[in-house]
């Protein structure tokens, strides 16, 4: 065995030991992180009801009634679904509502024509898919709150789809500037996200990427340091919670495993 393989195996052992100690709390932390952007947006709909209504009316010329209905659907749909996810009731229905909210907002806010926001919404969709996969495996688990790793074709497809869609989040973080540090960040991040996409050393790669994204998120999207009257604050806040949701998706990858369609799974059969 080469020195590189020994180092990777040692790192995996350390990661597995850490996961064993946190296995009871990890799924809960992952879910909370994943739905945090929906919670924040639902609260924002309540706090900025008039502004959101007027924006919809001005953008689509739909009238105040339909604009108010849009705000109401987003508020109730997001907060209600988040409650269902957290209490582990009707998770499939809650995920369906969240898919609908993502689609509705992508159209309403004309996100489809902005590649950065579109990719972030795809990544968020991947996180919700992983949430749905977890609920399917959890239903077959003997231990509440802990996903099983049994074979389940629908769950396996969901895990694969979720992993691939999370890749889109990384694409929005790439910055093409003449800097050695940025080049290293892009190269390391690209390597990790590629490992997650193909399902090789998935848990280790996901954990490292979680740490990297968390540090980057708190450094780059520190919206709490920006005064309330600055427009830039809302964009930073949006990016912060979107990234936090993708971190939750990566943590679910750690909790669920890569699934059947992955190099890690196929290696067990060799």
Give the pLDDT of residue 91: 93
- pTM of the predicted model as reported, rounded to 2 decimal places: 0.82
Contact 239, 14 (CB under 8 A): no
Contact 174, 183 (CB under 8 A): no
pLDDT beyond 70 at 149: no
CA–CA dist 240, 166 (Å, integer): 16
pLDDT beyond 70 at 42: yes
CA–CA dist 132, 115 (Å, integer): 26
CA–CA dist 249, 18 (Å, integer): 18
DSSP 8-state class, residue 229: T
User: Is 201 buried (19+), middle (13-18) or exposed (0-12) by CB count in 10 A?
Assistant: buried
User: 15-24, 43-52, 92-101, 260-269: which range is least confident on average?
Assistant: 260-269
- How is residue 193 written in tokens? 């996200």
The dihedral sign for the CA sequence 95, 146, 253, 214:
positive
User: Is 132 buried (19+), middle (13-18) or exposed (0-12) by CB count in 10 A?
Assistant: buried
- How is residue 102 written in tokens? 């993502």
- How is residue 97 written in tokens? 């509502």
**Residue 68 CA, distance from chain mean position:** 28
- How is residue 104 written in tokens? 């509705």
- How is residue 85 written in tokens? 């996810």
Give the pLDDT of residue 150: 47
Q: Using alpha carbons only, give the angle 179, 183, 185 rounded to the nearest 5 degrees.
A: 115
Name the pLDDT band for 266 (thresholds 50, 70, 90): low
Residue 216 CA: distances (Å) to CA of 30, 33, 154, 175, 243: 18, 16, 34, 13, 9
Highest mean pLDDT among 6-15, 22-31, 107-116, 159-168: 22-31
CA–CA dist 270, 265 (Å, integer): 10
Contact 205, 167 (CB under 8 A): no
**At which residue do the structure tokens 């077959």 appear?**
140
pLDDT beyond 80 at 30: yes
Estimate the crossing angle of helix 232-256 against helix 153-173, to 10 degrees. 140
Give the pLDDT of residue 138: 57
Give the pLDDT of residue 257: 74
Counting Cα atoms < 13 Å in the Cβ hemisphere of 84 gives: 20
pLDDT beyond 80 at 212: yes
**Residue 159 CA, distance from chain mean position:** 13
Q: Give me the mean pLDDT over the 201-218 stretch.
A: 88
pLDDT beyond 50 at 142: no
**At which residue do the structure tokens 């007027």 appear?**
54
Greater model confidence, 24 or 99: 99
């Amino acid at each position: 065995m080469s020195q590189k393989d020994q180092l990777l195996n040692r790192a995996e052992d350390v990661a597995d030991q850490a996961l064993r100690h946190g296995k009871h709390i990890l799924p809960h932390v992952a879910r909370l992180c994943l739905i945090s952007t929906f919670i924040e947006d639902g609260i924002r709909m309540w706090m900025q009801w008039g502004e959101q209504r007027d924006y919809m009316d001005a953008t689509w010329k739909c009238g105040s009634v339909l604009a108010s209905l849009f705000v109401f659907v987003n508020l109730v749909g997001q907060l209600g679904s988040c409650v269902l996810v957290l209490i582990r009731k009707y998770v499939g229905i809650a995920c369906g509502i969240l898919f609908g909210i993502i689609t509705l907002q992508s159209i309403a806010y004309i996100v489809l024509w902005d590649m950065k926001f579109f990719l972030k919404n795809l990544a968020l969709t991947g996180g919700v898919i992983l949430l749905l996969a977890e609920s399917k495996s959890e239903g077959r688990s003997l231990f509440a709150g802990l996903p099983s790793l049994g074979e389940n074709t629908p769950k396996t497809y969901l895990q694969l789809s979720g992993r691939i869609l999370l890749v889109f989040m990384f694409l929005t973080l790439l910055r093409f500037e003449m800097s050695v540090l940025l080049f290293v960040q892009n190269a390391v991040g690209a390597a990790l996200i590629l490992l997650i996409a193909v399902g090789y050393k998935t848990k280790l790669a996901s954990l490292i990427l979680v740490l990297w994204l968390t540090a980057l998120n708190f450094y780059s999207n520190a919206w709490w340091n920006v005064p309330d009257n600055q427009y830039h604050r809302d964009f930073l806040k949006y990016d912060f919670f979107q990234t936090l949701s993708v971190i939750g998706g990566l943590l679910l990858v750690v909790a669920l495993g890569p699934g059947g369609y992955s190099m890690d799974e196929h290696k067990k059969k060799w």
